[in-house]
Amino acid sequence: RMLSAVRCRQRSLCSVAPRAAQPSQSLDLSYTQTTSELSVGDITRTRAFLGFGAAATHPASYRYLLGSVSGHNIIDPEQTLYAMRKVMHFLKKLTFRGGRTLFVSTQPQLARLTRVIGQQSGQFYMARKWVPGLLTNWETVQQQVKKKLQLNPIARSAGKLRHSDVQRSMDMKGIEGMDSIPDVVVLLDGTNIHGEAAALNVPLIAVVDSDATQEYVDYPIPANSNSIRFHHTLAHMLVRSINEGAKLRATLDEYRINKDTSEDGDGVVDEKELEEARQAALMSGRG
């Protein structure tokens, strides 16, 4: 089975998922499966184990490889699954603490998926084009983003807006409400932003193929970067973990409000009980 899959990649067909495995047109990522229910077989069916040619192997990738078949690397799906679970737990915990996430992808085939991930999780996203200096030169870039988001009202009323201006505005829509540096960056492809994240000590989560560098990547996910089916599976997990973290945070905020407004208390929150509620919320959301 692995041999036939490798031959499939050699014919450049593995980047296209079968029609039955594609999500609906609405791209609803409210997935019911949790990371604990996700199995190695599920990862294998997404063709995530297919690496690049052995000649292009990055030295840091050998720890994730099982070997090679017909000159192509085979990525260990167990390590892919372990990395995904680690990332999901981190994102859930970060969102629970109020952290914000930035999703990044510049590949055209992942542009729509990146936008849907950001919209359904309530986080920021950059699809189709990366703005150099977005993280390291945020104060200056922020002003440029505001200008690009404001389309010329005269040209709009006259119907003479240029396509480039509209496209530029759409590219910046995902970071419209971002008023500070994100707490974590999730890189879905090989966009070279590793240096910017490392310069500001921003944790970087990235899908790394067998030929990709893992320098400055804090949470690498070894997988086939050309597998659209794997990216859809990963997208389900990302949205679920962030939404669960946000839900737990809302539950704890509600507990704080009820505690402050209780009639039989003095309006002071018991820190011990608050910590117990926080731990209980985290344990109930683990999965």
The pLDDT tens digits of the residues spanning 74-120 come to: 888 899 999 999 999 999 999 999 999 999 988 888 888 999 999 99
pLDDT in tens, 30-42: 554 565 678 888 8
* pLDDT of residue 28 exceeding 90: no
- Residue 29 is predicted with a pLDDT of 54
pLDDT of residue 23: 39
- DSSP notation for 169-194: HHHTGGGTT--S--SEEEE-S--S-H
Q: Please, which residues bridge with residue 102 across strands?
A: 124, 185
Closest to 134 (Cα-Cα) out of 38, 200, 230: 200
Residues 208, 222 contacting (CB under 8 angstroms): yes
Contact 81, 38 (CB under 8 A): yes
In the predicted model, is pLDDT for residue 73 greater than 80?
A: yes
Question: What local confidence, expressed as pLDDT, does residue 186 receive?
Answer: 94
Stretch among 90-104, 142-156, 173-187 having the lowest mean pLDDT:
142-156
Q: In the predicted model, is pLDDT for residue 240 greater than 50?
A: yes
β-strand 65-69 against 72-75: which pairing, if any?
antiparallel
Most trustworthy range by pLDDT among 168-172, 184-188, 195-199, 277-281: 184-188
Task: Return the number of other C-beta atoms located less than 10 Å from residue 91's C-beta.
Answer: 26
Tell me how far apart the alpha carbons of residues 247 and 268 are, in angstroms, rounded to a whole number. Answer: 24
Please state the rounded mean pLDDT for residues 158-183. 72
CB of 129 closer than 8 Å to CB of 111:
no
The whole-model pTM stands at 0.76
Q: What is the 3-state secondary structure (H, E, C) of 137-159?
A: CHHHHHHHHHHHHCCCHHHHHHC
Q: What is the DSSP letter of 98?
A: T
Residue 86: how many CB atoms within 10 A of its CB?
15
Angle in degrees, 0-180, between the axes of helices 163-171 and 138-149, rounded to the nearest 10: 130
- Report residue 203's pLDDT band, with 50, 70 and 90 as the boundaries: very high
pLDDT at position 135 over 60: yes
Looking at residue 239, its pLDDT comes to 93
